[in-house]
Structures are given as C-alpha cells and as structure tokens.
Structure 1
Amino acid sequence: MKKYIIYIGILLSGLLLGYLFFGTNAEERAGENTSRNDEHENENIGQMWTCSMHPQIMQPEPGDCPICGMDLVPSESGTSGLSAEQFSLTENAMALANIQTTRVGGTEENSGKLTLSGKIRINEEANAVQSSYFGGRIERLNINTTGEQVNRGQLLGTIYSPELVSAQQELLTAARLKENQPALYKAVRNKLKLWKLSDKQIDAIENSGSVRENFPIYATLGGTVTEKLVQEGDYVEQGQPLYKIANLNTVWAVFDAYENQISSLEEGQEISITINSFPNREFVSEISFVDPLLNSSTRTIRVRAELENENNVLRPGMFVEGNIATAQMANSENISIPKSAVLWTGERSLIYVQTSPEKPVFEMREVQLGTQTGNSYMVVAGLQLGEEIVVNGTFTVDAAAQLQGKPSMMNSDIMEKEKPGNMKMQLPETFQKDFTTVLDAYLDLKNALVSSNIEGARAAAFEMLQELQSLKTTNLETMEVSHLEKIKTMLVGISENNQLENQRDHFVILSENMLAFVSNMDNLNKTLYMQRCPMANNNKGAYWISEIKEIRNPYFGEAMLGCGEIKKTFGGE
C-alpha cells in the first residue's frame, strides 16, 4: 500500500514540474502565435488584389482575374488613405502600360513666345466683282471655272441685249444726222459709253453700218476668279455680278487668339509666320488688325497680318502658325504641359495628377488651357507648379479609373453634366460611312448581352474590334482618337472575358463612348435610339444604343428585360 502511495506522489510531482518548466513557454508561444495572426490580419486590412495582365482589375480579396482567369496578386498599396477621387495602380501595371509622369515646370523653352494658329485668306481689300453693264441673255462664257486667271481687258463672254440693239440703231440713225443735229449724235454716243463701250467699239459699229446682236463682255479688272456667279443662258440685269475676282498678289494670314491672350497683342507687333506646306520657310510681317469684337461662342478674337504673295505660293485655306515675341509671356509662373497629357471630352480638358511622389496614386483634374506653344499648352487654371502629371499612357490610366468607379473622362459623374448624346465632334464623311460597320457589330454585341449569351458577346466584341482597327483615323482630332482608344480597351475586356457581369460592366463604358460618335453622325442608314436604365451600373444608370424602340435591357437580360426608357432618337424616323 505504501508502495502505491509513493508511486502516486512521484507522478504528481512530475506533472507539477512539467507544468512549471513547459506550461509557461507554451502559453507564451500561443500568445505569440495569436499576436502574429492579429498582425497578419491587420496587414491585410485595405490590401487590394490585381491582375498583372489587366491592372485595371482591383479586388479586395484574392481570386481569379475576371477577364483572363489568372491568379490575382497583391497590390503594392492598399486603398487606405485614398480619397473618393483617387485610385492606385501597381508598379507592374505602370511598367506594362508604359505609364510615364513628369513634374510640371514653367515655360523656359518657349519663354517670351506666343503661338497662334490660323489660315491664309483672301485679302478682302483686293477683292472685287466683275459686273454686267447692260442687261440681257448670256450667250457664251469664256471663263467657266474658279481659280482661272483673268487679265484686264480679256474677253469674258458675249451677251444678247435688246437694249443694246436699240441703242446701236439709235447710233446709226444719229450718225446720219450728226451734221444737222450734233447734240443728238453726241448724246447717243455718251449713252453707249455709260454701258462701258469704248470709243473704238462705238466707231466700229458706226463704220460697219450694222447692228451687232451678241455683244462682248470685257474684264474691267484682273486677278483670280474665286467664284462664278452665272451660267450660259442666264438672263442678267444691268449691274448684276458675273464673277468674284481676287488679286492674290497679297493675302491675309488670319489667326484666332484666346481671350486671355488679348492683352499681349497690339497692332504693329512683328509676327513670324510658318506654313505647313513650306515648313522650312519663314514669313515675317506685322499685325495689321486686332478684332475689337470677341466671338462669344469660341471666346476668341481675330488677328490679321498681310503677306506679299510672290509667285502665288500662298493659297487661301492653307494652315499657318504665327509666333509673336511678347515680354508678358516671359514669366516663370506660367505652366506648360505636353499635348499628350490632355484628354478632351468636348468642353472639358482633363489631365491625371500623381498625388503621391512615392506611390502610384492618381486623380483626375480638370484644367483650363490657354496658348498652344509647339507641342505644349499653357495652363491657365487647375494646376500648380511642381505637381506630377501623366504624360504617356493617359488613356490606360483613364480606363483604370473608369473600371474602378472613379471620376474619369467618360464616367457617370461627368455624364450627368455632359451626356454622351450631347458631345460635339467634327467627323469626316468617309469616317462616318466606314463607322457604320462598327455600329452594326456593336448592335450584335448588345443583342448578345440582352440574351445573356457570354460566347456570343465575346464573338461580337472580337468582330467589332476587327472592324474598328480597319478605320482610317488620320483626319480625326485628339478627342475623337481618345474615344476610339477607350472603345478598343473595352472590347478587349469583353472578348477575353467569360463572366457575364464583367462583360456588362465593360459595356457601360463602351456604350458611352459609342454614343459620342453616333450623336455626331449626319447620315445614319437607320433610326437609332439612345436608351437608359436607371438601375444599371450599381444604380448609377447606364446608356446603350438600340435599333428598335422597344426596350430590351442588355444589363439585366430576362431578369429586367423592359427596364429603361428612350432618351434620344438619332437619324429620324
């Protein structure tokens, strides 16, 4: 019995010693593990996950890329500390998209130079009209096209004039009575001279003794025909214009100057002019006229200089650029940015600012532009010296902002003030004709989304992308090209995507950019409708284009097929 008591005592003593030696360390290790787990969870707060191939994708938890299916990787910076207008990109995304930034400085390179754009125009002071000095029917015209040169005294054509026939008969009668009635004879000759007949012509009629039915018209001035106002067979009255003739020995270079540039301009300033057709030649003149009236719609005034046109190398309609040296522009406070940094939405000029010098955090900024200086713009308002802006890859940054729901060039926040159907563009007629094939492919894509057909949407997006890449864009402005780039980005996202909801998210942005073009097309081959669902796009509302009046919602399909309304009609009915 005593033996069992001893064994039990030894066992209890061992347990007590084991607890003393190992129990405390175990608790400490457990506490350390808990602390480590808490720290790890704290590190993941605000952590975002992105796709290395599609940097616009940002999700709060790991998973697969909704576009290409690749594993998402941790973003290098979380969303903590960012305002509602800001968003971030990974360093990998910056490198893949070749996004470049630069710090804003003054106008050192172009200091003291004001650059204006304009056109060569006819010198209105040397512009004249060739009129008919007697009424009648035009029997023949020797000058039939604009651009022809006319010399003073040149035969322009012939006219049958009943009045001139009667006047010639009076002349022949008065010639027989001139010895007895010299006053009558003189009055008849003077009457013919009022019709611009020369003494030589009058003498020829008198000596021939016969009446000429078709009388010649001679040019009373010389120059270039800029407009032909009559045709053979027309009846004209005395004094009616026949041709507009301009003397192109001198021409005007007419420029547009913005409102904020007026104080730097005055008559007599020297202006150096270069012409696109002759980039290596420079024409020097003086400002001869500064328009006292401001165009209220464009907020510009006209500035004019006169140029000698040797050998007629300067032709009306040519684009020109004028450089004016002005001390007022030589100010280090002036801010200059490259043209590649600017996005246009019609009335707005937008840039992207990198708000943090250490991190790739961006926000959209609206700026007011002033003078164009070479490949740069002066910034009147909206930007400060020393700020960092995106100068390359601006379209990619804007696409990332749109997909993250941040203010961007075409998102819903801007569209509330500037709807896609109201944007103004100048689209060449050939571009409009070719764009109809892109529009047809868009309608196929829309119908696939109405049917919730993922593969059909991918195929239609790929077809639309092919049509888009075949368009000629050489005559488009920067704003139009920026919209096309956004359309291409969205089409790539839809064609590579196998998730319906993500396809529809891309379709929101695609439709807004498509509407910018459709609303400016003059000759649509069908009636189209701009439709809108207020519940799409997370209740922010979204537009689309349809070829039918009946609402067929591409954002919800069968779930809410009839949700929406017609906001505008294009092409007429």
Structure 2
Amino acid sequence: MTLFYPLLFLLLLSCPASHADSPLPVVKATPVLMKQIKVLAIGEGQVRDSLRLPARVDLDQQHVAQIGATVTGRITETDVVLGQEVRKGELLAILNSTELGLAQSAYLKTGSQVNLRRLAVNRAKRLLASDVIAAAELQERESMLNEADVDLRTATDQLRVFGMSDSDLERLSKEKKIHSFLPITASIQGTVVERNVMVGQVVQPADALFTVADLSHVWVVAELPEQQASWVRKGDEAIVTIAALPEEELSGRLIYVADMVDPNTRTVTVRMALPNPQRIFKPHMLATLLIRKQDVQGLVLPDSAVIRVNDSDHVFVETAPEEFQLRPVQLGIRYGNVRRILGGLKLGDKVVVEGGFHLNSERQRKELE
C-alpha cells in the first residue's frame, strides 16, 4: 500500500487551485501599451439612475367602453362607421328581438293578473265585512295577489336587464303595445375604434358589437424585465418619446406598476398616462419610455471603463506602476456615459477608463501562453 503514496502526493500537487481561491488576474503593461491607457481615480458625483424601455401607445382602459346587445336578436339598422365621433346615448344600431317581445308580453300578462287579483282582494274585504265569506277566503286571495306581484317584479327586472328604462316600462303599461325593437346606444362619449356588426347579423349578449374610446387620454405601456422589477415604483418620473414624432418628448409619472410577473414573458407591466387633446398620439404607435430616479450622491465610474468578462462587469485597477488587476464590480443602471458604483471599488481607486480592451487582450494572451 505504501507504494501508492508518492503517486497520490504527485497527483495532489498537479491539481490546479479552485477558482474561488485563485487570485485576481494582474497584467503587466508594456511601455507601448501604457501609451494607450488612461487612468482615473474614482470619485463621487451626482448620479440619476435611469432605465430605457421599448413601449407602445395604448388605449386608456378607464376611458373605453365595449358596447353590445342585452338580448339575442337581429340587427336591422346601423349607420355608424369606424372613426366616427359619438355622444353618450347616441344611437349606434337597432336590434329586433323575439326574446324581447316575449318578455314584454309576459310583463303585460303579469300586470293584468296583479290588477285582477287586487280587485278580488278588495271585493273579498267588503264581503268579509258583511260576514258573507270567511277570513280564510280573504287570506287565500291575498296570497294569490302576492304571487302575482312577485311575477310582475321578475318580469320588470327582466325588461330592465334587456335595456328598457322606467319611461319605456311606463309607456308599455299605458299603451299595451309590444315593441320588439331595441336601440343600442353609446355608453360614453368618444370615437368608434371597433365595429363588429352588420345589418342582418344575429347577435348574442356576449358579443362586443362596438368599442368606443375617449382618445383624449392614452397610455404608454412598457414591459419591465423581472430582474429590475424592484427598482421601479409607482410615481417615478417618466419621459416618453414617440418613434413617429421624434421631436416630441413628454414627461410625466408612472401611474401603474404591476404586482405580478407575466409567466410567459417574465416581465412586469408599467404604464404612464399621456394627455392627448389634439389626437396626435395614436394607439399602437411605437415609443420609448425612460424611467428616471431622483439624483443621489455616490461613487461614479465612466462607462468606458467597464469590461464584460463571463457575463459580468469588471474593471482594471492600477495596483502598482504599470500593473493592473482585473476586478469584478457591481454597477447601477447606465445614465448617459456614467455608471453608479454599488460594490467592488472604493473612493480613490485608480481605474483604467481608456485602453481597457487592450489590457484585456493582453491578459487573454498571457493566459493562453
């Protein structure tokens, strides 16, 4: 057994040190390389973290209404076209519904039943006062009147669900004439942005026939990567630029930051409200949303100093004359050409801000050798 100990000892000596224990790479710069390098001491400055996101103009869902039929029927008339401005209550289409006619018929019948049974109750009260009938007879007729009242309330509620107003019900009760045509009207003032109906089409209550939107208010919507979700807050300053209107730059505040991550895109939705009185901004226009934080005092670093190694940020720090060490750093979001230092460097460290690429190439060449 002792014969194998020397071999095992040699194998241990030949094993490389673990990555965690290996020292940070140091590069010795040649005089020629030093001419291409610029070193700057780390200092403090006013920085404002910002984040730029692709975005789009969208409808303000608080000023949008989907309008449909309240009862099954066939469209007999509609003159509304896409882009038309409509007022609240304006007629969009007319619907002919057999179901509505049957509901009106039931309403009239139950109304007649209530009147007849109320007369029967009043007559029974007079007869009871004259000892012609027993009290049980009056109670039975009152019970029948209560049942008829329930049926009338049910029929009334059904017609209200179908869209008939109190004045419509009053006219129906007075005229006793069934009217199976139902108007479909705009529930808000705005622009018709969707029209999914034509004359002769049979529609259901679940169908969205028209979409009306108030385009004087729009949203700018962006998707924030979940890794940066904790960085953004409702009320943060936001600046939007529209691709079709590059000279327009508008500022505002975030009005919404989603509380949930979209499981398909791994993003969080953020929104900014945008006034649009002149209808300049069209829904689905492409935009850019810049989210900005308040100015803070902290260590800053020129973005030109950052070297990406193994998908992480590094910089070269001068440790001795003509010697530079590659060091990992934690940096904030880019603002202009400056990055805020979150970790890995301290005040006064001398960092290579120009020529880092050449130093990194020299480091890689030495490692290959």
Pick the TM interval, shorter chain: 0.5 to 0.7
Aligned with 2:303 (options 330, 333, 337): 337
Aligned with 1:310 (options 263, 277, 288): 277
Aligned residue number for residue 49 of structure 2: 114
1:158-557 matches, within 5 Å, as 158-167=94-103, 191-198=158-165, 212=180, 215-223=182-190, 236-243=203-210, 245-252=212-219, 256=224, 262=230, 271=237, 273-276=239-242, 277=245, 279=247, 281-285=249-253, 288=255, 306-315=273-282, 318-326=287-295, 329-331=296-298, 333-338=299-304, 348-350=311-313, 353=316, 368-381=330-343, 385-390=349-354, 404=365
Q: Deviations over 1:299-323 (max 9, x none)?
A: 9866655444433445555322233
Amino acid at match of 1:283: S
Instruction: Mark the CA change 1:103 to 1:204 in structure 2 (over 3 Å): closer, same or farther.
Output: farther
- C-alpha contact (below 8 Å) 2:37/2:352 kept by paired residues: no
Instruction: Mark the CA change 1:181 to 1:144 in structure 2 (over 3 Å): closer, same or farther.
Output: farther
Q: Deviations over 1:202-234 (max 9, x none)?
A: 75999796755x644222223456667778887
Aligned residues: 305
**1:390 and 1:138 mapped to 2: Cα distance?**
72
SS in 1 for 2:333: strand
- C-alpha contact (below 8 Å) 1:142/1:155 kept by paired residues: no
Superposed displacement of residue 298, structure 1: 9.3
SS in 1 for 2:187: coil
- C-alpha contact (below 8 Å) 2:25/2:326 kept by paired residues: no
- C-alpha contact (below 8 Å) 1:137/1:161 kept by paired residues: yes
Superposed displacement of residue 155, structure 1: 3.5
SS in 1 for 2:71: coil
Instruction: Mark the CA change 1:190 to 1:295 in structure 2 (over 3 Å): closer, same or farther.
Output: closer
Amino acid at match of 2:88: R
Aligned residue number for residue 13 of structure 2: none
**2:41 and 2:90 mapped to 1: Cα distance?**
62
**1:134 and 1:370 mapped to 2: Cα distance?**
57
Amino acid at match of 1:322: I
Higher RCO structure, 1 or 2 (CA under 8 Å, sep 6+): 2
**1:176 and 1:204 mapped to 2: Cα distance?**
13
Instruction: Mark the CA change 1:303 to 1:382 in structure 2 (over 3 Å): closer, same or farther.
Output: farther
SS in 2 for 1:153: coil
Amino acid at match of 2:352: E
- C-alpha contact (below 8 Å) 1:104/1:389 kept by paired residues: no
**1:232 and 1:390 mapped to 2: Cα distance?**
71
**1:398 and 1:229 mapped to 2: Cα distance?**
64
Superposed displacement of residue 116, structure 1: 3.5
- C-alpha contact (below 8 Å) 2:238/2:272 kept by paired residues: no
Superposed displacement of residue 369, structure 1: 4.2
Superposed displacement of residue 260, structure 1: 7.7
Aligned residue number for residue 562 of structure 1: none
What stretches of structure 2 of length at least 5 have no aligned partner? 1-23, 119-147
What stretches of structure 1 of length at least 5 have no aligned partner? 1-82, 408-573
Superposed displacement of residue 197, structure 1: 3.0
Q: Which has the higher helix share?
A: 1
Amino acid at match of 2:67: Q
Amino acid at match of 1:324: K
Q: Deviations over 1:431-463 (max 9, x none)?
A: xxxxxxxxxxxxxxxxxxxxxxxxxxxxxxxxx
Q: Identity over aligned residues, as a percent?
A: 19
Q: TM-score, normalised by structure 2?
A: 0.53
Superposed displacement of residue 134, structure 1: 1.2
Superposed displacement of residue 257, structure 1: 8.7
Q: Deviations over 1:524-564 (max 9, x none)?
A: xxxxxxxxxxxxxxxxxxxxxxxxxxxxxxxxxxxxxxxxx
- C-alpha contact (below 8 Å) 1:87/1:362 kept by paired residues: yes
Aligned residue number for residue 3 of structure 2: none
- C-alpha contact (below 8 Å) 1:261/1:371 kept by paired residues: no
- C-alpha contact (below 8 Å) 2:108/2:176 kept by paired residues: no
Q: TM-score, normalised by structure 1?
A: 0.38
